[in-house]
């Protein structure tokens, strides 16, 4: 197998990391259309957003807040998007074309990468060059090796029939695969996050304590394996840490369009500084939620600072901090259910 490298951000956060409850709007419907869902942020802090309305991927390269470029051509309501370490962009094109397309680095056209039964609500490429697709309406996750041209894919989670057992899923929307090939699935209609150990079809439910999820739509992990969830129908972002699960953004308990609210958020991603990007679907925007540089209090020692600028906001964030026993280093559109 080929180790492909990691293209996504898994920041190492301190135990009491806190994010600014006033978010900045990174992109509006003027550039990403209505009801944005799919999004990816790579380790260079390039942002890729699937514009379903206009059948394209909008790209902001290398931390730019000004639109850099567009990938388009033959896309029909693109949903999921994933970018590999070498710059290849994989895009769901399953709505009418029943496939996943790939744009090679610096390419102006795409080639089919995988044929599917329908849309891929989320895409992922693991460290062994396996392409994963969440086929929500089919209640399963499938994968295919990118090292072969044969369109042979295997079911890695779910049975194809909706259910709430340890081996079934119900309209899953998001996923994450760690470097040990454990698969985490946002099992949306079952209101849970399922973990499938590498090679296992029998999942276990992640316990979220006092946090009750409602239609979770994406799941990601930080450097220490703590879980972060887009709690879609509760219009908030959830995170875990040494002290358990808690709300980390849009925690008012109600949806809305203010800078401190979300309205059916769908996908959340970290940038390399620990800031969060989220597709705020029903507000037709992408929000940027900044990690507060002074949130690691107590005996925290800040060793490196970086300036991050988004739209009209500039602030410093810590790249390396130390807390007793913990260090921090950079390292479906559902509202119609």
Taking only the tens place, the pLDDT of each residue in 23-46 is 999 999 999 999 999 999 999 999
CA 29 to chain centre: 20
Distance, in Å, from the CA atom of 246 to the CA atom of 240, rounded to the nearest integer, reads: 6
Distance, in Å, from the CA atom of 24 to the CA atom of 18, rounded to the nearest integer, reads: 16
pTM across the whole model:
0.88
User: pLDDT tens digit string along 209-223?
Assistant: 999 999 999 999 999
Between 3-12, 91-100, 287-296, the lowest mean confidence (pLDDT) is in: 3-12
Please determine, for residue 142, whether its predicted confidence score (pLDDT) is greater than 80: yes
User: pLDDT tens digit string along 116-134?
Assistant: 999 999 999 999 999 999 9
Task: Kindly list the structural domains of the chain, giving each domain's residue range(s) and its CATH number in brackets, ordered by start.
Answer: 19-295 (2.120.10.30)
Q: What is the mean pLDDT of the chain?
A: 88
DSSP 8-state assignment for residue 202: -
Over residues 54-65, mean pLDDT: 97
Over residues 225-233, mean pLDDT: 98
pLDDT higher at 189 or 3: 189
Please determine, for residue 308, whether its predicted confidence score (pLDDT) is greater than 60: no
pLDDT of residue 4: 59
pLDDT of residue 303: 29
User: With b meaning 16 or more CB within 10 Å and e meaning fewer, what string describes 321-335?
Assistant: bbbeebbbbbbbbbb
Distance, in Å, from the CA atom of 43 to the CA atom of 9, rounded to the nearest integer, reads: 6
pLDDT class of 185 with cuts at 50, 70, 90: very high
């Amino acid at each position: 197998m080929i180790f492909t490298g990691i293209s996504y951000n898994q920041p190492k956060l301190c135990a009491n990391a806190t994010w600014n409850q006033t978010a900045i709007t990174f992109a509006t419907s003027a550039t990403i259309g209505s009801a944005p869902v799919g999004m990816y942020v790579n380790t260079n802090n390039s942002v890729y957003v699937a514009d379903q309305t206009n059948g394209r991927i909008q790209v902001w390269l290398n931390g730019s807040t000004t639109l850099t470029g567009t990938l388009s051509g033959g896309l029909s309501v693109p949903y999921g998007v994933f970018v590999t370490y070498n710059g290849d962009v994989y895009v769901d094109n399953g709505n009418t074309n029943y496939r996943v397309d790939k744009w090679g680095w610096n390419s102006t056209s795409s080639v089919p990468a995988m044929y599917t039964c329908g849309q891929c609500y989320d895409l992922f490429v693991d460290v062994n060059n396996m392409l994963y697709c969440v086929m929500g309406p089919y209640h399963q996750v499938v994968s295919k090796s990118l090292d072969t041209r044969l369109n042979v894919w295997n079911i890695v989670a779910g049975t194809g029939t909706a259910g709430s057992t340890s081996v079934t899923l119900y309209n899953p929307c998001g996923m994450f695969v760690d470097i040990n090939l454990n698969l985490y699935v946002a099992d949306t209609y079952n209101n849970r996050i399922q973990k499938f150990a590498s090679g296992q079809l029998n999942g276990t439910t992640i316990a979220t304590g006092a946090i009750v999820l409602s239609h979770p739509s994406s799941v990601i992990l930080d450097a220490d394996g703590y879980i972060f969830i887009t709690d879609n129908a509760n219009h908030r972002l959830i995170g875990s840490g040494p002290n358990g699960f808690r709300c980390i953004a849009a925690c008012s308990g109600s949806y809305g369009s203010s800078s401190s609210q979300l309205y059916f958020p769908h996908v959340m991603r970290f940038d390399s500084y620990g800031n969060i990007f989220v597709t705020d679907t029903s507000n037709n925007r992408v929000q940027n939620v900044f990690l507060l540089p002074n949130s690691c209090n107590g005996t925290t020692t800040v060793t490196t600072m970086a300036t991050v600028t988004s739209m009209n906001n500039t602030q410093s964030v810590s790249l390396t901090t130390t807390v007793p026993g913990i260090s921090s280093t950079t390292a479906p559109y559902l509202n119609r259910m």
